[in-house]
Amino acid sequence: MVAARALRRFYGSAAWRDLKGAALYLKGRRCAMCGRTDRPFHVDHIVPVRVAWAARLSMTNLQVLCVPCHGGKKRRIENAKWRRRK
Ligand SMILES: [Zn+2]
């Protein structure tokens, strides 16, 4: 597991900000789960950073989700899927 402090530092880094911008540009502003284009977006790690630290800056590990999808469904899937991998 990755320390919460390291995660916070990563999400505040210029490298992540740049990558997020690039992901929105390359993948487009469209939610990968519900397909909506009219909502605020969140660039999501398909395999969570806390699980796959080495893939934190990998474009292939990113997807664009709208904020409601990221906050709801995705989190439930993630919790179920990754709970036992500690
Ligand atoms: Zn969505």
Gap from CA of 42 to ligand 1 centroid (Å): 10
pLDDT tens figures, 74-86: 667 667 766 655 5
Task: Tell me what the mean pLDDT of segment 3-18 comes to.
Answer: 95
Gap from CA of 58 to ligand 1 centroid (Å): 22
> What pLDDT is attached to residue 41?
95
> What pLDDT is attached to residue 35?
96
Gap from CA of 1 to ligand 1 centroid (Å): 28
| DSSP assignment string, 18-77 | HHHHHHHHHH-SS-TTT---SS-EEEEESS-TTT-GGGTT-GGGEEEEEHHHIIIIIHHH
59 lies in which domain range?
Answer: 4-85
User: In this model, does residue 49 exceed pLDDT 70?
Assistant: yes
pTM over 0.85: no
| Residue 73 pLDDT class (50, 70, 90 cuts) | low
The domain tally of the chain equals: 1
